Amino acid sequence: MTAFTSELLPNYLAGQWQIGTGVGSALSDPVTGSELVRVDATGLDLEAGFDFARQQGGTDLRALSYRQRGALLGSVLKVLQANRDAYYEIATANSGTVKNDSAVDIDGALFTLGVYAKMGETLGDRHFLLDGEPARLGKDPLFQSQHIQSPTRGVALFINAFNFPAWGLWEKAAPALLSGVPVIIKPATATAWLTQRMVRDVVDSGILPTGALSVICGSSTGLLDQLQTFDVLSFTGSAETAAVIRSHPAVTQRSVRVNIEADSLNSALLLPGEGADSESFALLAKEVAREMTVKSGQKCTAIRRIFVPESQYAAAAEAIGERLAKTTVGNPRNETVRMGALVNRTQFDAVRIGLDYLKTQTAVLHDGASHALVDADASSCCLGPTLLGTRNAAGSDASDRVHDTEVFGPVATLIPYRNLAHALQLVRRGQGSLVCSVYGSDAAALTQAAIGLADSHGRVHIVSPDVAALHTGHGNVMPQSLHGGPGRAGGGEELGGLRALNFYHRRSALQASGTVLAQLSAPAEIAIA
């Protein structure tokens, strides 16, 4: 068992463990309220730490081929697998998640890391990537242009959200390290313990070059000031913070490359013609209830808006409500509990305020307050799932708040529409989202809807009865597919298989004789100096 003591967790920077000089911030159990550990980054020499990562970690990583770096990721995966039980204990205590919800984070992280470890083998002994085919630059074919991508000579700074302390680390770090770019991770303070523990286990294993992986727990003050021209920054969090990041001199003056994943009002759409007795209707109701309750709705990809034909509104409300009513809420240590707590009191209060805000334009179809808490009381951060509704199609148009406001918890709104054109119009009022799932049985209609939604979503998840037992889930982010979204979702792109490596590489055109460019076909002999 992991010892839960209120110790001050060390940061790992410049190749050494360092304790902050301040009192630190307390991380607490969201069910019992007890203090677990403290984190603090006061007094760290950030400039020295960033320089160390660039000069030592980056140099040593670039000296390795993609195959070698992939093998390192494979070894890291084994270390994390060996400590998996400890991670589950930390998740239960600090995030308040039931075991199945912890798996979404922890096992999802391990799976993603494994995928990128195998990609290293596929890329082989190269130290750079070819980008497309050679292009003739004139009538004589001898002089040509070949684009290549080479690892950026900087550091990757990750500022992450509280809801995925494990997956949020490795879905970013795996492609960065595979690319040959050192990582500095700044986890959200509320759940930093799990991230710090994973980094600690990897550092202690000695697998990665010193300086390849660092972690700073506590305040993010001063981090962006350290970023230089060839560094990259990936942020997951609120649109407000994203706006501050985009206006920072590192971005506006030094052109630091930025990836943003921000707020997202993700949708589920039941196509016209699907009745309450259809399999597609049942699939939608099941997935909506699951997405509302997994991790207590604290997922950036969770379903926030459910669009159904106006004729199916009452039936959908009943079907989803019945499923939600069966959800037991409370202390995740009780085996009968299926939904744990919100991460802390701040988040709990924010959800309650957001609910009140949405209720001014909606009706309550299933009240989360009706759930009796199991092994928890009113002082805990446990809150039952709430389904709201806009009553009719006219209300769907008038209720602007449900299209503009994301309540980051177990809350979703049922929205009726008149026809498909109306449905697509309403979905797009989300102003860009990470994912929309579409449910139906007609392949042509599903394709039409998906293409109509693709421009405003990073991912369109199409569910028909033939894939009922196969689809990976609306909110599950798979490393083979793109994760990100346009507009209010941040405009970022992560994962997507090898596409994730693009963010950590710089593209350049080599213009030369075909004889010179032919040397690129033997990349194992060309190392990065």
Query: What does the block give as tokens for 114?
Result: 């494994």
Q: Residue 376: pLDDT above 50?
A: yes
Q: Tell me which residue of 349, 339, 423 sits closest to 379, measured CA to CA.
A: 349
Q: Residue 215: pLDDT above 80?
A: yes
1 — pLDDT class (breaks 50, 70, 90): very low
CB contact at 8 A, 189 and 34: no
Residues tagged active-site: 261, 300
Q: Quote the percentage of the chain above a pLDDT of 70.
A: 98
- State pLDDT tens for residues 110-162: 999 999 999 999 999 999 999 999 999 988 889 999 999 999 999 999 999 99
Q: Tell me which residue of 156, 178, 167 sits closest to 62, measured CA to CA.
A: 178
Query: What does the block give as tokens for 289?
Result: 């209830």
* Predicted local distance difference test score (pLDDT) of residue 525: 59
CA distance 1 to 87: 10
Query: What does the block give as tokens for 110?
Result: 């391990």
What is the CA 330 to chain-centroid distance, rounded?
Answer: 25
Q: Where are the alpha helices (DSSP H) in 360-442?
A: 393-398, 400-404, 420-428
Please give the model's pTM, rounded to 2 decimal places.
Answer: 0.94
- State pLDDT tens for residues 89-113: 999 999 999 999 999 999 999 999 9
Angle at 202 between CA 101 and CA 187, to 5 degrees: 55
Q: Which residue has the tokens 């394709």?
A: 447
User: Can you spell out the DSSP letters for 37-82?
Assistant: EEE--TT--HHHHHHHIIIIIIHHHHTS-HHHHHHHHHHHHHHHHH
Q: Residue 529: pLDDT above 90?
A: no
Identical fold at 49-262+493-525 and 266-482? no
* Predicted local distance difference test score (pLDDT) of residue 6: 64
CB contact at 8 A, 104 and 476: yes
Q: Helices 99-123 and 66-82 meet at what angle, rounded to 10? A: 160
* Predicted local distance difference test score (pLDDT) of residue 528: 61
- Kind and range of the H or E run holding 251: helix 249-252
Q: Tell me which residue of 274, 265, 266 sits closest to 464, measured CA to CA.
A: 274
- State pLDDT tens for residues 307-359: 999 999 999 999 999 999 999 999 999 999 999 999 999 999 999 999 999 99
Instruction: Give the chain's largest Cα–Cα span.
Output: 79
Q: What are the domain boundaries of the chain?
A: 49-262+493-525, 266-482
Name the fold adopted by 49-262+493-525: Aldehyde Dehydrogenase; Chain A, domain 1 (3.40.605)
Rounded to 10 degrees, the C-alpha dihedral 362/368/370/374 comes to: 180
* Mean pLDDT estimate for the chain: 95
* Predicted local distance difference test score (pLDDT) of residue 524: 61
- What is the arrangement of strands in the sheet containing 129-136, beginning at the earlier edge strand? 129-136, 143-151, 505-513
Helices and strands in the chain: count of H runs, count of E runs: 17, 24
Query: What does the block give as tokens for 141?
Result: 């074919």
Q: Tell me which residue of 219, 265, 214, 257 sits closest to 239, measured CA to CA.
A: 265
- Kind and range of the H or E run holding 234: strand 232-236
* Coil, strand or helix at 42: coil
- Residue 389 per-residue DSSP state: E
What superfamily does domain 266-482 belong to in CATH?
Aldehyde Dehydrogenase; Chain A, domain 2 (3.40.309.10)
CA distance 246 to 395: 36
- State pLDDT tens for residues 489-511: 999 999 999 999 999 999 999 99
CA distance 471 to 26: 40
Query: What does the block give as tokens for 277?
Result: 């007795």
527 — pLDDT class (breaks 50, 70, 90): low
What is the CA 338 to chain-centroid distance, rounded?
Answer: 22
Q: Residue 4: pLDDT above 60?
A: no
- State pLDDT tens for residues 250-268: 999 999 999 999 989 999 9
CA distance 340 to 409: 11
79 — pLDDT class (breaks 50, 70, 90): very high
Q: Tell me which residue of 485, 492, 493 sits closest to 265, measured CA to CA.
A: 485
Q: Residue 2: pLDDT above 60?
A: no
Q: Which residue has the tokens 């030369």?
A: 512
Q: Tell me which residue of 494, 512, 511, 490 sits closest to 503, measured CA to CA.
A: 494
Count Cβ atoms within 10 A of the Cβ of residue 112 and give its class: 0-12 exposed, 13-18 middle, 19 or more buried.
buried
CB contact at 8 A, 262 and 486: no
Q: Quote the percentage of the chain above a pLDDT of 90.
A: 93
> Which of 59-63, 308-312, 525-529 bottoms out in mean pLDDT, i.e. has the lowest?
525-529
Q: Residue 289: pLDDT above 70?
A: yes
User: Can you spell out the DSSP letters for 489-510?
Assistant: G-SEEEESGGGGGGGGEEEEEE
CB contact at 8 A, 188 and 161: yes
